[in-house]
Structure 1
């Protein structure tokens, strides 16, 4: 296969590249993913922790601010308690002015008696002013608990303010003798955090316990303070959750933010810090970008190494492929591929050279075996031919060509092997067929075998034709010899049987001659007619006897087969031997069914019956019985000859079918009877079995295939 004809996805170089990229991407992907996930989680924790730490610091600072304000007001009470609630107005105003100047977050201070009636007051804008006679302290939350911080209140210009109220105690008795209330400007507190250093995009805002925005560093919230309650952190605070260490949600402006908050406690405010998620995740994104760049660089490096390594490995393989293609094109198995290295590829080349040597040796062995097989097939003396499923010739050996010609490819086998009387060449396995070869009659024994359908020639059958012409002719001569021997044995009996009618003829002729020689009385015409009639009957009787003998002795053609009636042909054979049975006073019992048709030669079948009956007569004692049975059993004809004579010993029983074997005296048998009969039965596609017990008799059973009349 040419390298250019190989699809790119099947090339080893591409496999090396894909392997390198895969082995670089997968580990980097998993390690990068694990590392990125871990770093991201840590960075998110750090961002949340940093934001929460900032809001916590701010909440503590606010709490400390109010604690300082409380301390500022509370520290003056032991020394100035009586002066604040006393009648010395000047002293009280001095103390109030001192307190107002001490803390710039305080806008106004009022002092009242135990009943919350305002005694005196001072503010930045108005200074010391006399309160109205009915003025009382307001905005006191939980009057029973001091110090008390009021709710956030808003002025007409939306400025938030709160009131911090503390008690004035009698230094001696510790009883409440009045109250001191400071109005605090919330904006001043919030504005102190405007310059706070925050992260990129971060902003803070403050809400009171009702969710009102008190201050923020975000311009959007300043413009939309009424929407602050829709903020997720504010909602969580209003729901009673004291703090949130960090969460991600949508801000009021619609962008994703990371927010944290915590409550101040006293006062019940919340400090919230928010940062856009994109700004918060900048470190994470920068880390991911660096990780991607590193991964790409590693993959590029791995790809370069994979390509270089793949070329280093594939180049020797391509050289090996080129050498192999050259060997295939030239067919020179004796050539060798040069070894360029001693690594695995070098060892592969060495192994391939060893394979070439082995293939060369096997190729030579195959050539020798092919020559030997050709010699055997051509010299075996049998014709061999391969046939396809339609029984057309695919291959033939030289012997078959010698008989039937050379141009046989794709020819029908039945037409090439011109069988006499249109017999099918493959009708019966092992059958002997008669064929004209070069205008000469030859006999072949055919054998055919079904072949496996997986053979490369698509052959379905192997047909073998063995020339058995000499064997058939020898068998015919042997049958004829056995027949002549049987005729010779029958001759004396036939001559004796003819003597009886001849004696009658002679007696009648002599009587008529004697009476004709006498003067008177002369034989009448009727007496002449009666005498001639008797003579004619005896002559016809002699003719029938000689005709039966001549019919049996006449040489007949053994070619082909006829449909014969086993019963009728057997009766004719019995008539030939009837005189011999009479001489020994033997009774032949016949039980033959009619219409027992089988394929064969009638003359040969009579010879089989005559041989079996002759053996039975010779083995039977005088006045004995011989049973001859013929009947049909399904598709089989059974023919049995049973005698009750001397039988055959077990030692001789094994040799009964051997040619020229006989237990009779010299001159009484040829030893061919059973051998020839066995051969004739086999020709008729039948079988013969011999059973005998010494002293009890012998039974010969023949089975033949049954054919319906007209087949």
Structure 2
């Protein structure tokens, strides 16, 4: 207890403040006055003494009697002097007087001012009853017991002092036993509930006094400890009872008041849910329910207007969908077709009764999804995914269709997530083929003189050798050996083969054909294209430089279309270079891409025209020498093969054309995601 400890500190302070010198040179009256002053400051003290360094009583005073005899064995205890010499305060064990009143001696050491010499001590004997009465008065009326026990568990102070006089055995209490056995108040259980020494169920705690080693114990009956809680619970129960009763009464009242309008509102809501939107609720209420009914009437009116507007928009949308000129289909993530417009139904075979009908069955009549399909790959299709297919319509017509796939973001679970837009590009493809054929014929017209020369040379050789053989057969029939005849025939056959090769290349190039997807060996296409320009190169004395490896990977596309691209580029280069010019053709492989580079040192293209060279009908040639379709057709062919064509030129220095194509891996699939890095070629 802090109060007891504070009073003991006060006792020690009062003793330390007393001033006695070593020889006690003060007059006896002055010394006795100082001792009685100590007794006056400490009302709980019965006796005060001054001890010398040997432990003998030099001065003393008693509150109730005169001390004639200073020979006091009870003060002359060696343990006192030993403790004092250590500089510590001495607390004696609890002493019981003849009347049973406990007391304790408190002695403080007394040293010289420089703390080098021990002069003795000043002590008092304190009645514990008086000490405890000052503390116990603070707990009066709290229905709790406060008492002190010493180190042996003996009761030395109690708010009911008769228990001290009766020497009540308080060690039966669990808290006292815990103090004796453990000594740590923090080790008590919480709550510490037990039967005390009197057999009463209590809650107990104790606090250990560090100065004396005693324990201050507080015990409170359980009934008193929980009385306030029980009282609060009772009040809370009554409070809840009145709250519940009031709530029940209010609910009954408001239930009767609101039931009828709510039932009416529920009935109307059900009718609206069935699609009846021209219904209204009649009400004269001015409260919240009246406001709710008014808002409901406004909502149904708004819904009716929106429904009519949706019907109008649906009619407009149907007109747009049916007249758009494009096929539309909604598809689930597993490729099942959910819906298509009538135009697409005319183009493809759609079985409405087949719930498992898929888009790949619709387009390519295959049970397996298309390669690279973004629906199967779950790929983001907000960017255009464009593919072209050729089908046979229900009317037996061959159609070329371009279909694009878009991902629908705002859909409910279980609804179609993809929109397929199908466009009939049959006429567009037919026109493109006509333009490409016209471009071929234009190129053939430009190279006609070369072809004539290429065929005329072997024919002249054949004529010369045939005439010579005929002359020798007339004049030297006997001198002409079989080896000579075989030599003549071999030369004639070789020149016939040469003429056939030229005409075959010309026929291959000029032949009108549909797009044929195949694996292309690029060097073979380049050699065949160059064979058409042998005479033209020789005529202008153009130096042709070729550089490629024979084991290059293949690309996927149409070899005749690729040949048309090379011929167009060679024609442009041949027109651009002067006599003794240089044309360099190289093929390289890097980063899973095949690059064809055609470079010349001709006149070049002005910078302001570079961004227009791939536009249809744009040409920088003189009238009659070009149609302006060559590079535009080249761009379309290379794009269709999945590649890129670039044109770089510096006016007065030359032009470089770069064709970048994806190669085919071992499984027949295209590799390489981007365009290989472009490096300029030195064309001399």
Confirm or deny a common fold (TM above 0.5). Answer: yes
The one of 530, 543, 546 aligned to 1:587: 543
Q: Contact 1:434/1:441 (CA < 8 Å) preserved in 2?
A: yes
The one of 575, 580, 599 aligned to 1:623: 580
Q: Which residue of 1 aligns with 2:415?
A: 458
Q: Contact 2:277/2:303 (CA < 8 Å) preserved in 1?
A: yes
Q: Which residue of 1 aligns with 2:362?
A: 416
Q: Which residue of 2 aligns with 1:681?
A: 638
Q: CA deviation at 1:233?
A: 11
Matched, 1:373 2:320: no
Q: Which residue of 2 aligns with 1:385?
A: 329
Q: Which residue of 2 aligns with 1:304?
A: 249
Matched, 1:317 2:273: no
Q: CA deviation at 1:514?
A: 4.4
Q: Which residue of 1 aligns with 2:303?
A: 359
Q: Which residue of 1 aligns with 2:603?
A: 646
Root mean square deviation of aligned Cα: 3.7
Q: Which residue of 2 aligns with 1:208?
A: none
Q: Contact 1:611/1:673 (CA < 8 Å) preserved in 2?
A: yes
Q: For 1:417-566, what aligned pairs fall within 5 Å after superposition?
A: 417-418=363-364, 424=370, 427=373, 429-438=385-394, 439-452=396-409, 454-515=411-472, 526-558=483-515, 560-566=516-522
Relative to structure 1, the CA distance from residue 412 to residue 660 in structure 2 (aligned partners, 3 Å threshold; closer, same or farther) is: same
Q: CA deviation at 1:655?
A: 2.0
Q: Distance in 1 between matches of 2:234 and 2:306?
A: 65
Q: What TM-score results when the alignment is normalised by the length of structure 1? A: 0.56
Q: CA deviation at 1:425?
A: 7.5
Q: Which blocks of at least 5 consecutive residues in structure 1 are unaligned?
A: 1-231, 240-249, 257-277, 279-284
The one of 591, 600, 609 aligned to 1:634: 591
Q: CA deviation at 1:326?
A: 2.7
Q: Contact 1:445/1:465 (CA < 8 Å) preserved in 2?
A: yes
Q: CA deviation at 1:585?
A: 0.8
Q: Distance in 2 between matches of 1:463 and 1:543?
A: 50
Q: Which residue of 1 aligns with 2:558?
A: 601
Q: For 1:174-189, what aligned pairs fall within 5 Å after superposition?
A: none
Q: Distance in 2 between matches of 1:295 and 1:425?
A: 73
Q: Contact 1:596/1:631 (CA < 8 Å) preserved in 2?
A: no
Q: Distance in 1 between matches of 2:618 and 2:235?
A: 111
Query: Secondary structure, in 3 states, of the residue corresponding to 1:542?
Result: helix
Q: CA deviation at 1:610?
A: 0.6
The C-alpha deviation readout for 1:522-574, integer Å capped at 9, x for no partner, is 7565544433332222222212221221222223332x411111121112111
The C-alpha deviation readout for 1:438-469, integer Å capped at 9, x for no partner, is 22211011211234484354324322221111
Query: Which deviates more from structure 2 when the two are superposed, residues 530-539 or residues 586-595?
Result: 530-539
Greater RCO, 1 or 2 (C-alpha within 8 Å, sep 6+):
1
Relative to structure 1, the CA distance from residue 311 to residue 647 in structure 2 (aligned partners, 3 Å threshold; closer, same or farther) is: same
The one of 316, 320, 328 aligned to 2:273: 328
Q: CA deviation at 1:646?
A: 0.7
Relative to structure 1, the CA distance from residue 597 to residue 406 in structure 2 (aligned partners, 3 Å threshold; closer, same or farther) is: closer
Q: For 1:106-185, what aligned pairs fall within 5 Å after superposition?
A: none
Query: Which deviates more from structure 2 when the two are superposed, residues 530-539 or residues 470-479?
Result: 530-539
Q: Which residue of 2 aligns with 1:75?
A: none
Q: Distance in 2 between matches of 1:481 and 1:423?
A: 38
The C-alpha deviation readout for 1:335-359, integer Å capped at 9, x for no partner, is 1111231222111111111111111
The one of 346, 350, 370 aligned to 2:290: 346
Q: CA deviation at 1:303?
A: 3.8
Q: Which residue of 2 aligns with 1:247?
A: none
Relative to structure 1, the CA distance from residue 435 to residue 306 in structure 2 (aligned partners, 3 Å threshold; closer, same or farther) is: closer
Q: CA deviation at 1:297?
A: 7.5
Relative to structure 1, the CA distance from residue 502 to residue 710 in structure 2 (aligned partners, 3 Å threshold; closer, same or farther) is: farther
Q: What TM-score results when the alignment is normalised by the length of structure 2? A: 0.58
Q: CA deviation at 1:311?
A: 3.0
Query: Secondary structure, in 3 states, of the residue corresponding to 1:417?
Result: helix
Q: CA deviation at 1:378?
A: 1.9
Q: Which residue of 2 aligns with 1:147?
A: none
The C-alpha deviation readout for 1:126-169, integer Å capped at 9, x for no partner, is xxxxxxxxxxxxxxxxxxxxxxxxxxxxxxxxxxxxxxxxxxxx
Query: Secondary structure, in 3 states, of the residue corresponding to 2:282?
Result: coil
Relative to structure 1, the CA distance from residue 420 to residue 532 in structure 2 (aligned partners, 3 Å threshold; closer, same or farther) is: farther
Q: Contact 1:419/1:433 (CA < 8 Å) preserved in 2?
A: no
Q: Contact 2:542/2:583 (CA < 8 Å) preserved in 1?
A: yes
Relative to structure 1, the CA distance from residue 307 to residue 566 in structure 2 (aligned partners, 3 Å threshold; closer, same or farther) is: same
Query: Secondary structure, in 3 states, of the residue corresponding to 2:442?
Result: helix
Q: Contact 1:420/1:434 (CA < 8 Å) preserved in 2?
A: no
Q: Which residue of 1 aligns with 2:181?
A: none
The one of 650, 656, 660 aligned to 1:699: 656
The C-alpha deviation readout for 1:647-669, integer Å capped at 9, x for no partner, is 11123222211222222223322
Relative to structure 1, the CA distance from residue 498 to residue 421 in structure 2 (aligned partners, 3 Å threshold; closer, same or farther) is: farther
Matched, 1:396 2:340: yes
Q: Which residue of 2 aligns with 1:263?
A: none
Q: For 1:252-271, what aligned pairs fall within 5 Å after superposition?
A: none
Give the number of equivalent residue pairs. Answer: 439
Q: Contact 1:431/1:446 (CA < 8 Å) preserved in 2?
A: yes
Q: Contact 2:268/2:279 (CA < 8 Å) preserved in 1?
A: no
